[in-house]
Amino acid sequence: MSDDTAQLIEEVNTENQSSVSYNDETVIWEGRPSQWVNIGSFLWWGAFLVVSTVLLVFWQSGLNEGYSQVITEAVYWAFCGLVGLSIFSLVYAYLSVRYEHTVITRNKIKEAKGITSIFRQELFCEISDIKDIHSPPAGLLGLIGLSTLVIETNDDDQPIIKIRAIKNRNQLIEMLLPIWRKLKIERKGYFGDR
């Protein structure tokens, strides 16, 4: 464990505090997923883009001879549409992950998703509403040191919070567990209604 992580865990440690204030919004962790979660989309749409572009070039360089003008134009615009769709899909996949952001404070988990302010969605969940924390196997992302954290909650808006493709998942769990336990006891008790 690095010195910075140990210092952050020491700052977050709730054992020395009598209670956690409802308005204490000290950030204990924030981050966004790695673009590695898009590797499948990038490979699929990248291959689609290359094949569409090559076919378009072949079509324009003489493969279209012998066909009527209507068919030539239709095939040309179909290939152009496929190239445009590929580029749009690549950019959308990149931006959707780029604008996914999670902030964990001493009281809340805030998830923000959406590319523009029109489609941006911000969801808040109280840490005391957490039911369980799961650490699923990292799979292929584990080869590059990334993993996912899944948090089950009692919140109707966010029953499942997935913090995808992050580094140091275990340090995040170590920071989150003491706060969660303290808030669970203070605000609901272990044998609460949920």
Listed in sequence order, the DSSP H helices in 59-146 are 69-98
For residue 19, what pLDDT is reported?
52
Here the tokens at position 182 are 């303290």
Residues paired with residue 124 on neighbouring β-strands, in sequence order: 110
In terms of DSSP bridges, do strands 27-31 and 101-105 run parallel, antiparallel, or are they unpaired?
Answer: antiparallel
For residue 38, what pLDDT is reported?
93
Give the orientation angle of helix 39-58 with respect to helix 69-98, to 10 degrees. 160
- Per-residue pLDDT reduced to its tens digit, 117-150: 888 899 999 888 889 999 888 888 888 999 999 9
Task: Band the pLDDT of 77: cuts 50, 70, 90.
Answer: very high
Report yes or no: 165 and 37 within 8 Å, Cβ to Cβ.
yes
Chain mean position to CA 169? 14
Backbone angles phi, psi at 24, to 5 degrees: -80, 100
Q: Which of 1-10, 70-79, 81-90, 105-114 has the highest mean pLDDT?
A: 81-90
For residue 15, what pLDDT is reported?
47
pTM of the shown model = 0.75
Here the tokens at position 142 are 């584990």
Give the orientation angle of helix 169-183 with respect to helix 3-12, to 10 degrees. 10
Task: Band the pLDDT of 20: cuts 50, 70, 90.
Answer: low
Q: Which of 14-18, 33-37, 63-67 has the highest mean pLDDT?
A: 33-37
Task: Band the pLDDT of 8: cuts 50, 70, 90.
Answer: very low
Question: Average pLDDT of 162-189?
Answer: 86
